[in-house]
Chain A
Amino acid sequence: MSRFFWRILLSTWFVVAVTTAVSLWVATLMPASDPTVASGHRMDRLVALVARDLRAAQSGPMAGDPLGAARDAALDLAPLFDVFILAPDGRDVLGRDVSEDVRDTLQKGVDHRDGIDALLAPRIVYENTDLAGYAVVAVEPVAPVSRALARRDVRLVQLALLAIASALAAVLLARFVVRPVRALQQAGRQVAAGDLTVRVAPRVGARKDDIAQLAHDFDAMTARIDTLLSSQQRLMRDVSHELRSPLARLQALISIARQSGSDDDLERLDRMEAELERLDTLIGDILMFARLQVRAEIERHPTDIVDLVQTVCDDAAIEAQAEHKQVVFEAEETPVIEVDSGLIHSAIDNVVRNALRHTPAATAVRVRVDSNGARVRVTVEDDGPGVPESSLAEIFEPFVRVGRAPSGRNPSGGIGLAIAQRSVRLHAGVIRASNREPSGLRVEIVLPTLH
């Protein structure tokens, strides 16, 4: 359960509890009636009636109901007060139940109670016990809720029920709000990870509220991004294809020119071919980077990283010889890990080539593989000029020129390190650059052995 869910649940529950408590409290404060002067006067008349009837009853047997008139008067007052006429034995002459609380209050007074009990106790507004054993008591009627709450046992059960019901309501409400939000959140993550086929609306269900609208908007947005990206991809592919066709024709033309060329021409043809290859490599790199940008999943298979790096170094060493540079390779025993070997190969290849490009002639690029069990690290060090500290992260951006690159015959790294970074990140790995003392650059690639 997310924090969001618990927040909504607890705050809803809290609000329900507070609202209930406050409304109960207000209910107890509200007098059921307003004792007025008029009602006081009527109470006096009632007492007079009771007194007269009692006297009549004591002086001789009477026909009919001895307290008939008093009884009628008491019932007249019922809308205002509960008026009890208590016989000497404590029973109401009208046969109504006199609650424990009223008796209790009559005997001991209100003051012996405290807390919520005092608040909920019936209030006696009139009391006359001066009637030859009879008593007339007017009690302010208690709101039904308060009356129920006045009983301790009921109060406990009620509180428990209240807690359960409000908790249930809170849970339902929280789920109602949180579930679609969570679906949206999940979809957002999937989209961020590159999966643009996600749609949320079906998961939100058949609701028609703002959240459903949000889900629909989210889907529309994702679909739009999907369309934009794939059209951009298509454009990249088409452009590269269109560029490659004339390149292939050019290359073929050079091959033909070579067949009949003089020695003088051959040297120029060589250079033309070299430039052409550079252009072709660049197009290939841009295409690869574009593909990696939208790729979210990789195909892992068990790979011996040492073997892979060795292969890269062997290949690079052959090319480095021409510029009197060396590639020195050393490796510790390293576990076989599951990676997309094509991507990791190109990542390491790009980093090694970049190092070779910047290390001065007659120096070596050092490549080292080590492991601590949880991760495998490939370190590539050169003796080049390094990179200004503030630009260390920028070298992984495509086509960013950072001071160090001697432009001219060998222009800056271009897009190679960006490809490396993207490939490593797809493996949940880390690639970082740091400067060496006294000069040079160190690039580390760290890959987790478990994924």
Chain B
Amino acid sequence: MSAGFQMHLCSPEMAARMDTMTDSNINVLLVDDDVAFTDLVAEFLDAEGGFSVTRRHDGAAGVAEANAGAFDVIVLDVGLPELNGFEALRRIRDAVDTPVVMLTARGDDIDRILGLEIGADDYVPKPCNLRELVARIRAILRRQARVDSVDSAAEVLRVGDLRLEPGAQSAVLGDTAVALTGAEYLVLEVLVRDAGTVVSKDAIARHALGRRIMPYDRSVDAHIANLRKKLGPLPEGRQRIKTVRGRGYLYVSTA
């Protein structure tokens, strides 16, 4: 079934949804109040090939669409009128796990970190080079594919009181399950797999974000901060994840 044939039969949105089944197309939901900008992004992705783009121009419509449709990735602008990007992200996260890339204004570190805390998978500065946006989307999907392909019967990782189940993508601390976002889980996984040794920020970024670390990139640090907050200290009171000056991070192995 060719994409062109589908287009004759259904509305573009319907086609977008059906395309998820074919796997050939990446379904992108783009939520941004700047109509001209979304048109340009759609044009670019169209020329790039392999994407179908659904556009929404306010937070409420974006959330409704995100929670109803089956998208591979959602690109969400922070500066939406009324229901802003963070609030929209919160509502999306309440319903679905679809990866979210936030578009944030440059120089707004706080905004980026906040987005990652709420559960965004990555952020792209806006204005941005659209190739960069495409690269980030592909990186997230590669990572997602890796997560999805993990055999659910795969080994369970254990360090001290922490248990990671790669299949279920969940962390259990003692008897309590800790809710982690996809990116947080992968950061923790790469650290726990090599517990007791230093993992560089770049290695963490490649594993968890599917990309290299960028200059002035604090996303790994933000995910680490989230993990520290969610996991708390070790039973004996020490920090679980240590910063190793100039080299990276280390999960303290209690053994």
- Give min CB distance, A305 to chain B, whole Å: 10
User: Are A288 and B110 in touch, CB under 8 angstroms?
Assistant: no
User: Are B216 and A349 in touch, CB under 8 angstroms?
Assistant: yes
In the complex with contacts A245-B37, A249-B34, A273-B129, A288-B107 CB distance below 8 A: yes
Q: Total A-B residue pairs with C-beta atoms closer than 8 Å?
A: 83
In the complex with contacts A255-B131, A276-B127, A315-B216, A304-B243 CB distance below 8 A: yes
**Interface membership of A285, Cβ < 8 A:** yes
In the complex with contacts A248-B37, A249-B34, A259-B44 CB distance below 8 A: yes
User: Are A284 and B110 in touch, CB under 8 angstroms?
Assistant: no
User: Are B106 and A284 in touch, CB under 8 angstroms?
Assistant: yes
**Interface membership of A361, Cβ < 8 A:** no
The residues of A that contact B43 with a CB separation of less than 8 Å are 256
User: Are A319 and B215 in touch, CB under 8 angstroms?
Assistant: yes
In whole angstroms, what is the CA distance A240 to B127 when docked? Answer: 12
**Interface membership of B18, Cβ < 8 A:** no
User: Are A256 and B47 in touch, CB under 8 angstroms?
Assistant: yes
**Interface membership of B245, Cβ < 8 A:** yes
The residues of A that contact B36 with a CB separation of less than 8 Å are 249
Specify the chain B residue showing the minimal Cβ separation from A289: B107
In whole angstroms, what is the CA distance A254 to B130 when docked? Answer: 9
**Interface membership of B109, Cβ < 8 A:** yes
The residues of B that contact A241 with a CB separation of less than 8 Å are 79, 105
- Give min CB distance, A377 to chain B, whole Å: 18
The residues of A that contact B37 with a CB separation of less than 8 Å are 245, 248-249, 252
In whole angstroms, what is the CA distance A318 to B216 when docked? Answer: 11
- Give min CB distance, A400 to chain B, whole Å: 21
* Chain A facing B: main interface SS: helix
User: Are A245 and B34 in touch, CB under 8 angstroms?
Assistant: yes
User: Are A342 and B110 in touch, CB under 8 angstroms?
Assistant: yes
User: Are B126 and A248 in touch, CB under 8 angstroms?
Assistant: yes
In the complex with contacts A307-B243, A349-B216, A280-B127 CB distance below 8 A: yes
The residues of A that contact B246 with a CB separation of less than 8 Å are 306-307, 310-311, 314
The residues of B that contact A273 with a CB separation of less than 8 Å are 129
Contact with A along B217-255 (1 / 0, CB 8 A): 000000000000000000000000001011000000000
In this complex, the interface size class of chain A, counting residues with CB under 8 Å from chain B, is 35 or more
- 76-111 of chain B: CB within 8 A of chain A: 79, 105-110
**Interface membership of A281, Cβ < 8 A:** yes
- Give min CB distance, A308 to chain B, whole Å: 10
The residues of A that contact B131 with a CB separation of less than 8 Å are 255, 258
**Interface membership of B178, Cβ < 8 A:** no
**Interface membership of B179, Cβ < 8 A:** no
**Interface membership of A253, Cβ < 8 A:** yes
In whole angstroms, what is the CA distance A319 to B44 when docked? Answer: 29
Specify the chain A residue showing the minimal Cβ separation from B132: A255
**Interface membership of A251, Cβ < 8 A:** yes
Most central of A248, A285, A304 by chain B CB within 10 Å: A248
- Give min CB distance, A268 to chain B, whole Å: 15
In the complex with contacts A244-B126, A342-B109, A255-B34 CB distance below 8 A: no
User: Are A244 and B127 in touch, CB under 8 angstroms?
Assistant: yes
In whole angstroms, what is the CA distance A120 to B243 when docked? Answer: 88
- 111-156 of chain B: CB within 8 A of chain A: 113, 126-131
User: Are B129 and A251 in touch, CB under 8 angstroms?
Assistant: yes
Specify the chain A residue showing the minimal Cβ separation from B245: A307
- 303-351 of chain A: CB within 8 A of chain B: 304, 306-307, 310-311, 314-315, 318-319, 342, 345-346, 349
**Interface membership of B40, Cβ < 8 A:** yes
In whole angstroms, what is the CA distance A284 to B79 when docked? Answer: 14
**Interface membership of B41, Cβ < 8 A:** yes
User: Are A250 and B215 in touch, CB under 8 angstroms?
Assistant: no
- Give min CB distance, A266 to chain B, whole Å: 12
Contact with A along B26-41 (1 / 0, CB 8 A): 0000000010110011
The residues of B that contact A256 with a CB separation of less than 8 Å are 40, 43-44, 47, 130
User: Are A244 and B105 in touch, CB under 8 angstroms?
Assistant: yes
In whole angstroms, what is the CA distance A306 to B245 when docked? Answer: 7
User: Are B215 and A318 in touch, CB under 8 angstroms?
Assistant: yes
User: Are A252 and B130 in touch, CB under 8 angstroms?
Assistant: yes
**Interface membership of A8, Cβ < 8 A:** no
**Interface membership of B175, Cβ < 8 A:** no
Specify the chain B residue showing the minimal Cβ separation from A258: B131
In whole angstroms, what is the CA distance A258 to B48 when docked? Answer: 11
In whole angstroms, what is the CA distance A78 to B242 when docked? Answer: 103
- Give min CB distance, B166 to chain A, whole Å: 30
Specify the chain B residue showing the minimal Cβ separation from A247: B127
Contact with A along B187-212 (1 / 0, CB 8 A): 00000000000000000000000000
In whole angstroms, what is the CA distance A258 to B40 when docked? Answer: 13
Specify the chain B residue showing the minimal Cβ separation from A254: B129
Specify the chain A residue showing the minimal Cβ separation from B128: A251
Specify the chain B residue showing the minimal Cβ separation from A312: B216
In whole angstroms, what is the CA distance A240 to B79 when docked? Answer: 12
User: Are A304 and B215 in touch, CB under 8 angstroms?
Assistant: no
In whole angstroms, what is the CA distance A342 to B245 when docked? Answer: 17
The residues of B that contact A245 with a CB separation of less than 8 Å are 34, 37
In whole angstroms, what is the CA distance A227 to B37 when docked? Answer: 33
The residues of A that contact B243 with a CB separation of less than 8 Å are 304, 307
**Interface membership of A10, Cβ < 8 A:** no
In the complex with contacts A249-B40, A307-B243, A255-B109 CB distance below 8 A: no
Specify the chain B residue showing the minimal Cβ separation from A318: B215
- Give min CB distance, B222 to chain A, whole Å: 11
Tell me the A residues contacting B by CB distance below 8 Å.
240-241, 244-245, 247-256, 258-260, 273, 276, 280-281, 283-285, 287-288, 304, 306-307, 310-311, 314-315, 318-319, 342, 345-346, 349
28 contacts between A and B (CB under 8 A): A240-B105, A244-B126, A245-B34, A245-B37, A247-B127, A248-B34, A248-B128, A249-B36, A251-B129, A252-B37, A252-B130, A254-B129, A260-B47, A276-B127, A280-B106, A280-B127, A281-B106, A283-B106, A283-B107, A287-B107, A287-B108, A306-B246, A310-B245, A318-B215, A342-B109, A345-B109, A346-B109, A349-B216
Tell me the B residues contacting A by CB distance below 8 Å.
34, 36-37, 40-41, 43-44, 47-48, 79, 105-110, 113, 126-131, 215-216, 243, 245-246
